Each structure stands twice: as C-alpha cells, then as structure tokens.
Chains A and B, each alone.
Chain A
C-alpha cells in the first residue's frame, strides 16, 4: 500500500513569508498528525485530527500556524508569517486507530 505522502520535501523562505505543506495519509486512516521536529530533538505534536475534526491542537502556535483537513483525507499546514525558529522538519503521520503511526518523509523548512 502507498505510504504517507508529503510535499514539498524542502522549502527555503525568508522570515515573515508564508509557507504551506501538504500531506496525504494512507488510505482509510482516520487519524492524522502534524509534528514539528527541530534538529536534535524528538517530534513535537502540533495538531491531531480524527477524520476532519481536531482532537488536540494545544501545542499549535495559533497566532501563526493553521491546519485543516477537509473531507477527512489530505491535510495542509500553513505558517504565516514564518519566524527563524520555525526552521525544522515538519512530519505528517497517519494512524488507522489505536496505536502505530506511519510517518511521511517530512518537509524540511529553512527560514532565513
């Protein structure tokens, strides 16, 4: 079966610009996660969707980050405006239910 797809793989922007990332989860997976992974650290959950509803967005910086999952399938994560400290790898993962996540390859964002 196809894995979790993410695009783009790499993005370089200047601070204060906007950027958007796209994720297509494994078919049939109800739960979708966005994580931020700063170099040398473990993934930090930004937002968790169950179908098209938000389960947890407590660590999402809502003044600049937004995410949506229309129709309960693919999802976009947006940053507007970006700051230097947003430089990280943004990982998308999906899960069919209880336990086990499947991760995409990630998008590496560099903010200059």
Chain B
C-alpha cells in the first residue's frame, strides 16, 4: 500500500466549479506539500502545511493531522488551473519527501 494516496486520479470540471482534491497518508509526518505540475513538466510548490489551513488566492489547503488527511480546494476554477496536482509528505523530521501519484485536473471552458 502506498504511504501517500491521492483521490481522484483524474478530475474533469467545468469552468467556475469548486474543486477538491484529497490526500491521505499513513505515516507520521512533519510537513505536507501541495505541488502543481503543468503540461510542460515544471513543478511549482503551492503550499507547505504542518497544521490548519492556508489560502493563496483561489487556492485553499487544509490538513487534519489526527486524521492524516489533507485537501486542496480550488474556488471558481479556470482552464489555466488544468495541471497535475501532487501531494507530498515529509516523513518524520528528517526524512525525504514521499509523493502521491498525482491528480490530473482538466477544467473545460
């Protein structure tokens, strides 16, 4: 079983819809990252969380440490949000990142 599981694997939405991507993990972590990868391949770090909630523009990330679960929300989605969203966790305080397999989001106009 993978230590980091994302759902859904693929997601298609209409422009303007509210989107949620989920990430569950099975190990103790010190931080969780949400990353965005556009079709060209480059990866951008969106959020790093160790507790609570963070907001940046239309993007919101939450984490529940007790439930070992995080969500990434996109409000008022737009076609330019189309990308692969990857959840990654840092195991313990010194471990390397462990990645989920990603969620491919397509937002249709």
Partners in one complex: no
Footprint of A on B, CB under 8 Å?
none
